[in-house]
Structure 1
Amino acid sequence: MTRVVLLGSSPGPHSSPTGIKLASLPGAPTVTERLHSQLASLDPNPITITRSAAGHPGHVDQTRDLADDLRAVADAVEHSTENLFIIPTNSLIHDELIYQLSKAKRGAQALIAKVPRPDEDSAEEIPDHVPIDEADPEIGHQVLESLKVRARAGRSRVVSVGTAHHMVTRPNAVLLGPLHLHQRHAATLAEVAREMADMAHLFGDDDDLVQLLVFGLVRRGVSVGVRGRRDLFFSRVHSQSEADEALAAMSEINEDKAKLNNAVKGADGFFTTFFVSTYSRYIARWAARRGLTPNQVTLISIAMGVAAALAFATGTRGGAVAGAILIYFAFVFDCVDGQVARYARKFGVLGAWLDATFDRFKEYVVMAGLAVGSVVAGYGDVWTLALIALGVQSIRHLLDFSFGAANRRKPPSPLPTLALSAVSDTDLRRALETRRATRNTGVRGLLKMWTKAGKFRPVHWARKMIVFPIGERFAAIAITAAFFEPRVTFLTLVIWGSIAATYSLTGRLMRSLA
């Protein structure tokens, strides 16, 4: 479960009015009623912090002023043993965006909007790296979506936040509203909220409550990740006319398409991205709408893998071609099962275990089928090569799982902190620059350069392919088995697999030493 906190109050003039109807939706709910129904799956009894309890269903904590708001937030989250989802009550938002934010793997994530470049219609972002000596801290007065631009956001996280009293270096973004926090940050949020309550007299009428919370978190060294709306909708509405306009704009966005796209992993390999996921998502949607479960799709994939092994074992050219086609579609359905799970929100421990275990099973049983087929066809005994290929891949799997487990135990590198009372963020920015400089030396510097090289598409895809992911392995098996004898297939698996193991092991050793 997730602890949901609804903010019905803001220190600015745009408080959250109740009673705004969404007439074009079934039942004509109010904005607040719709938001409550959307969040019911996360928390059936959310806490609403508001100046006026009228029109707010559920548990309401009525406050008098900003200091009260901040103390109420602290009380609501301080002892939480669940993740937190904080959002203004006047939010008009897609269900899929709530899902993506609430399932974020980062410890803290906020929805933001960045200021467009000057004199440009596009929303292309301002470059993130701004040398500290090029800009002076300022109180942001520019307005974006009814919010003062008082946050500095980089590519992946909030760098600094200001207020009507606290200056920030070159602000370029606003925090739109939704904020997701891992439970480990609950105590920190409560602490900074109480401290800010004691200094509430310093904040202005145009300071937003969500932005203030992120201000406190960032100054406490919490890494608050950022994401934009992308192909989904979010807006705060303050009047009936704004709600009508926002609802019309939201209806023009295809939420199901965004949900389907989100069902596809964003970090897949070259072969999977261009030769499977381009259409497998539509199979996943078709399967989900007909009630097929991810586990049932996994069983289809397993059956195709076994059928491919049997076809390879015949030792005939027709069997090899049939096996190549079957192993390709076994991989397609291996992708589809995960996409069905993400699209239909059907996750389970059994499904995850089946998927991880039988991926290996299909690969190994196909190798066995190829080896048998080689003997049947008279190509000769390739069992030694098959065992070497199997051994190389087993070692790679072992390295993958062991490094992943060890890496999860590695504590994150701490970020600089800054007292809430500091008027300027200059010291924070200098500390960040020093941290950046120290992290760009030695082994860490080499890793940083290699990471930056990934912005070039050829390098990006070359790095994806060199590690020989499962999509490339199944493609290599299918293509070589269809056109050549099994010996070529096993040599390809051994050579490419050895290169991938060497590359991965080198990178992991460097990351362990960095």
Structure 2
Amino acid sequence: MPRVVLLGSSPGPDAAPAQSTPPAALTLPALPGCPTVIGKLHGQLASLDSAPVTIARTGDAPAYRGFPGSLVETSDLAGDLRAVADAVEHATENLLILPANSLIHDELIYQITKSKRGALALIAKEPHEEDENGDTIVPDVPIDEAEPEIGDRTWEDLPVRARASKSRVISVGSAYHAVTRPNAVLLGPLHLHHKHAPTLAEAARELADMAHLLGPEDDLVQLLVLGLVRRGVSVGIRGRRDLFFRRLVSQEQADESAAEMSMINEDRARLNNAVKGADGFFTTYFVSTYSRFIARWAARRGLTPNQVTLISIALGVAAAACFATGARAGMVAGGVLIYFAFVFDCVDGQVARYARKFGVLGAWLDATFDRFKEYVVFAGLAVGAAVSGVGDVWTLALIALSLQSGKHLLDFSFGAANRRKPPSPLPSVSLTISADTELRAALEQRKIARSGGIRGLLKMWSKAGKYRAVYWARKMIVFPIGERFAAIAIVSALFDARVTFLTLIIWGGIAATYTLTGRLMRSLA
């Protein structure tokens, strides 16, 4: 579970409209029980951290008293930064840092805290400027020639002083730090792996010493991300997508935001997010379109992921028994049953993600019995071939089994080895340097160094994935489990076991060759 740090002084009182009630103490009458913003947030975070650290200015501190956890009172921005450093420096758990005036969906908190990135920030990109025809206005000066700036534009009441690419934060600014063509704001939530906690603490203390150079509009979260980026930490990004987040600064805004939030179907978003985003073609279009609704039905009736896994196993064994009859009706029935065995194989994971029920046993059952179902079906097909007089296909079955086992071993071993490989470091630049020119130049040199040879070929192949045909071809060529079960179901129902095994061997051989080539290239890059 993460360690939670709430920032009661972000944005600071000098940046927010003058008011007697701190933003976190605003009420939400549109929500059940009419909670305060901070009260609702504490309720949401209780399952993550029962004793969060709250950092607030002395004048606002009474609004945070009476809630679980500790309260650290500060007097200015430098004190805020030092308090954050003290709170995170010795963290042994991952960190969730967010403003105390946040109105946010539970599902968005969950998704942010479950991120596998070392650092992740919630952002909103500034909309592109458009002309009278609705076309995007392209800047006259290319970004490579643009000069760093101290942005004075705002978006969602926050200064637009961050530059974000498609996957991470490139540069962050302040009243002192200039950014080349800023295009985004850092909304608030920041999730950080505990290995980066000392880096964040060190950067926060250095920024505290520079507080006289910073402005009243500088946001605390923005400054923390600035420190991380300048120290070479890769800060990934994500948007709100189909969920809600807003920092509240007035009662009028609180009323409007609570009403807007209630209009969003959080359960539908949670259900959609229970489906893996990188599944194969067959799974995406012929299973996940409806399996999520089975998952929700199962979860609401108390079925556990392990129970759904057992249903999938039973269907797989039943399919093998049908195949073993060797009769045409048995082959068709086996094809139907193996398809639904795969459907429930998808459902068990979706139930786990929707109901948030994860366990070591479930992960082991899912990984192990996927292979079991596949191999017992191979045996059923081979027995059925002998019974029906097709001939001895045990040799083909063993080749198909060996080929698939070798590919699984290759995937697991490469994944384990790749996790031990240290990531390529990002350049770092001193916080005392105002413009981000040096940082961008170092990033460009890194890009050039990584664009040659094998790494360049891999990058080109990755970029080709923006075309839908190439994307799905790459998904299908590796012969994922959905395509394998679909091939078994369709070919077995239409033809016989011999043709089924030949299909598995040919497609599996192509997949193994493609996978092995890719693994070798990535290992050498």
* 1:351-395 alpha-carbon deviations (Å, 9 max, x no partner): 000000000000000000000000000000000000000000000
In the alignment, structure 1 residue 308 sits paired with structure 2 residue 319: yes
Distance in 2 of aligned mates of 1:134 and 1:333? 54
User: How many positions carry a matched residue from both structures?
Assistant: 513
- Kindly state the Cα deviation for residue 125 of structure 1 after the two structures are TM-superposed: 9.8
Which position in structure 2 is the counterpart of 1:34? 40
The percentage of aligned residue pairs carrying the same residue is: 74
Which position in structure 1 is the counterpart of 2:111? 100
Compared with structure 1, are the counterparts of its residues 158 and 296 closer, same or farther at alpha carbon in structure 2 (3 Å cutoff)? same
Residue pairs, 1:92-491, within 5 angstroms: 92-119=103-130, 133-491=144-502
Distance in 2 of aligned mates of 1:205 and 1:122? 38
Residue pairs, 1:15-30, within 5 angstroms: 16-30=22-36
Compared with structure 1, are the counterparts of its residues 335 and 121 closer, same or farther at alpha carbon in structure 2 (3 Å cutoff)? farther
Which position in structure 1 is the counterpart of 2:61? 53
Which position in structure 1 is the counterpart of 2:15? 13
Compared with structure 1, are the counterparts of its residues 379 and 127 closer, same or farther at alpha carbon in structure 2 (3 Å cutoff)? farther
Distance in 1 of aligned mates of 2:352 and 2:100? 30
- Kindly state the Cα deviation for residue 18 of structure 1 after the two structures are TM-superposed: 3.7
3-state secondary structure, aligned to 2:96: strand
Which position in structure 2 is the counterpart of 1:75? 86
- Kindly state the Cα deviation for residue 47 of structure 1 after the two structures are TM-superposed: 0.4
* 1:246-279 alpha-carbon deviations (Å, 9 max, x no partner): 0111111111111001000000000000000000
| Cα pair 1:297 1:333 within 8 Å, conserved | yes
Distance in 2 of aligned mates of 1:121 and 1:475? 50
Compared with structure 1, are the counterparts of its residues 276 and 154 closer, same or farther at alpha carbon in structure 2 (3 Å cutoff)? same
3-state secondary structure, aligned to 2:61: coil
Range with greater deviation from structure 2 (434-443 or 53-62): 53-62
- Kindly state the Cα deviation for residue 131 of structure 1 after the two structures are TM-superposed: 5.6
3-state secondary structure, aligned to 1:55: helix
| Cα pair 1:284 1:336 within 8 Å, conserved | yes
TM-score of the superposition, structure 2-length normalised? 0.96
| Cα pair 1:285 1:340 within 8 Å, conserved | yes
Distance in 2 of aligned mates of 1:124 and 1:340? 43
TM-score of the superposition, structure 1-length normalised? 0.98
Which position in structure 2 is the counterpart of 1:497? 508
Compared with structure 1, are the counterparts of its residues 111 and 126 closer, same or farther at alpha carbon in structure 2 (3 Å cutoff)? farther
- Kindly state the Cα deviation for residue 24 of structure 1 after the two structures are TM-superposed: 2.2
| Cα pair 1:368 1:386 within 8 Å, conserved | yes
Compared with structure 1, are the counterparts of its residues 383 and 123 closer, same or farther at alpha carbon in structure 2 (3 Å cutoff)? farther
| Cα pair 1:150 1:161 within 8 Å, conserved | yes
Compared with structure 1, are the counterparts of its residues 20 and 126 closer, same or farther at alpha carbon in structure 2 (3 Å cutoff)? farther
| Cα pair 1:117 1:123 within 8 Å, conserved | no
| Cα pair 1:115 1:125 within 8 Å, conserved | no
3-state secondary structure, aligned to 2:176: coil
Letter of the structure 2 residue corresponding to residue 14 of structure 1: A
| Cα pair 1:77 1:84 within 8 Å, conserved | yes
3-state secondary structure, aligned to 1:463: helix
3-state secondary structure, aligned to 2:253: helix
* 1:297-355 alpha-carbon deviations (Å, 9 max, x no partner): 00000000000000000010000000000000000000000000000000000000000
Distance in 1 of aligned mates of 2:137 and 2:276? 28
Distance in 1 of aligned mates of 2:159 and 2:318? 61
For structure 1, the residue ranges without an aligned partner over 5 or more in a row are none
- Kindly state the Cα deviation for residue 19 of structure 1 after the two structures are TM-superposed: 2.6
Distance in 1 of aligned mates of 2:217 and 2:492? 67
Distance in 2 of aligned mates of 1:223 and 1:371? 51
Compared with structure 1, are the counterparts of its residues 123 and 236 closer, same or farther at alpha carbon in structure 2 (3 Å cutoff)? farther
For structure 2, the residue ranges without an aligned partner over 5 or more in a row are none
Compared with structure 1, are the counterparts of its residues 298 and 255 closer, same or farther at alpha carbon in structure 2 (3 Å cutoff)? same
| Cα pair 1:132 1:430 within 8 Å, conserved | no
- Kindly state the Cα deviation for residue 126 of structure 1 after the two structures are TM-superposed: 9.7
Distance in 1 of aligned mates of 2:510 and 2:133? 43
Aligned to 2:75, which of 64, 70, 76? Answer: 64
Distance in 2 of aligned mates of 1:69 and 1:499? 58
- Kindly state the Cα deviation for residue 26 of structure 1 after the two structures are TM-superposed: 1.9
| Cα pair 2:317 2:376 within 8 Å, conserved | yes
Compared with structure 1, are the counterparts of its residues 126 and 508 closer, same or farther at alpha carbon in structure 2 (3 Å cutoff)? farther
Letter of the structure 2 residue corresponding to residue 9 of structure 1: S
Range with greater deviation from structure 2 (436-445 or 12-21): 12-21
- Kindly state the Cα deviation for residue 424 of structure 1 after the two structures are TM-superposed: 0.3
